[in-house]
Amino acid sequence: MESTLRRTWAEIKLDSIAYNYKKIREKIGPDVKFLGVVKADAYGHGSIQVSKLLQDLGADYLAVSSADEALELRVNGIDMPILILGHTPKEQVGRLIEYHITQAITCKAKADEYSEEAVRCGGKLKVHIKVDTGMSRLGYLCDDGYFDTGVEGIVEACNMPGLDAEGIFTHFAEADEFGDENDAYTKHQFELFTSVISSVEEKLGRKFAIRHCANTGAVARFENTYLDMVRPGLLLYGYGEFARQMGLKPAMTMKTTVSTIKIYPEGTAISYGGVYVTDKTTRIGVLPYGYADGFLRSLSNKCSLYTKEGPAKLRGKICMDMCMIDITDMPSVDVGSEVEIFGEKNSIDELASIAGTIPYELTCAVSKRVPRVYYRDGQIIEKELMLRM
């Protein structure tokens, strides 16, 4: 559905994602596969559009969080390999087989369920085995005193009927953190992972086709961890310190407009709670952009948004549907003027830092009522509104 409202919108530059993909490809080399992480609607950028682009560019794999996300891609023309990183109920195994979708296996219980259901369906489910090397979230536990039992469990899963164990992977917990202790932890995780692989492959008598562990931080900092495939997330979309170091380009720009202008005398409390009080006659621009659109309330009264006359300070608490900026000294900023929330002129990295979070929490927070406008070669190629109308 296409929105007819010029309220608040996100501009997605597919050329930037293509540029980032090619730069990362150059870094990892021709012999390493590229998995594009497109879960959570491609971090708010639009999973269908981003996946089509990556497919056209020659990416090797995509990763999503759920069966629903994977099936959305399949029914919209994406036929390249897709890996589900999260949980899938066993009742969906038949659909995964039908649509050639790869499933992560994280423990014996999941392996048993998926094997039983695949056999019942009369097919083979392609799987990647998840190893918990220190993330302490999902995967076969193999650290400390669990190495032998973890290896045995993985070997058992690889030999189960109905399962085709194509790959094995783990996830780094601190690869994007700086410091000797963080680096040592990543090194420990990687060495444990490769030890598990060696032991499992020896017992199986065969090699895994795809071994992968390098997330964004590892792609940027630890070339020895690339193995057969890398999984850049934040890097692909051009955000964060590593993206800046590699000269990558941010893909999303969030924009809104000034909907109303009010003049308030000195001593006027602005918005809920009165956390900001004017210290002089103040010209306030009301923007149709609030926390229901994805503007984190933790940024209230702390950041600036960018107008054609430069940064304008946010005043008072962010509301559900609106926020207010100080345009007292910006006479040319009027009703209808564009305001950049984040993008080339107002860094999302800075906003994230002020909010005490990471950039892709801000992109993922962009709600479904915010239209996405897609650009290629400087031209609008598609507009998308996720609301049902």
Specify burial of residue 378 (Cβ count, 10 A radius: 0-12, 13-18, 19+). exposed
The pLDDT confidence band at residue 388, using thresholds 50, 70 and 90, is low
pLDDT at 72: 97
pLDDT over 50 at 259, yes or no: yes
Residues with a known catalytic role: 39, 272
pLDDT over 90 at 386, yes or no: no
Beta bridge partners of 304: 313
Write out pLDDT tens, residues 67-123: 999 999 999 999 999 999 999 999 999 999 999 999 999 999 999 999 999 999 999
The rounded distance, in Å, linking the Cα atoms of 3 and 386 is: 9
Phi, psi values for residue 378, rounded to 5°? 80, 0
For residue 254, what is the DSSP state?
A: E
**What percentage of the chain carries pLDDT values higher than 70?**
97
pLDDT at 1: 46
Superfamily the domain 252-384 falls into: Lyase, Ornithine Decarboxylase; Chain A, domain 1 (2.40.37.10)
Mean pLDDT over 356-361 rounds to: 93
The pLDDT confidence band at residue 144, using thresholds 50, 70 and 90, is confident
Per-residue burial over 3-29, b if 16 or more Cβ lie within 10 Å, else e, is beeebbbbbbbbebbbbbbebbbebbe
Mean pLDDT over 307-318 rounds to: 98
Cβ neighbours for 309, distance < 8 A, ≥ 6 positions apart: 327, 329, 330, 332, 333
Calculate the CA dihedral of residues 190, 196, 199, 205 and round it to 10 degrees: -100
Q: Does domain 32-237 have CATH number 3.40.50.11030?
A: no
pLDDT at 108: 96
Name the average pLDDT for the chain: 95
Binding residues: 137, 320
Domain locations in the chain as residue ranges: 32-237, 252-384
pLDDT at 224: 97
Write out pLDDT tens, residues 149-188: 999 999 999 999 999 999 999 999 999 999 999 999 999 9
The pLDDT confidence band at residue 384, using thresholds 50, 70 and 90, is confident
Write out pLDDT tens, residues 226-250: 999 999 999 999 999 999 999 999 9
pLDDT at 74: 98
pLDDT at 213: 98
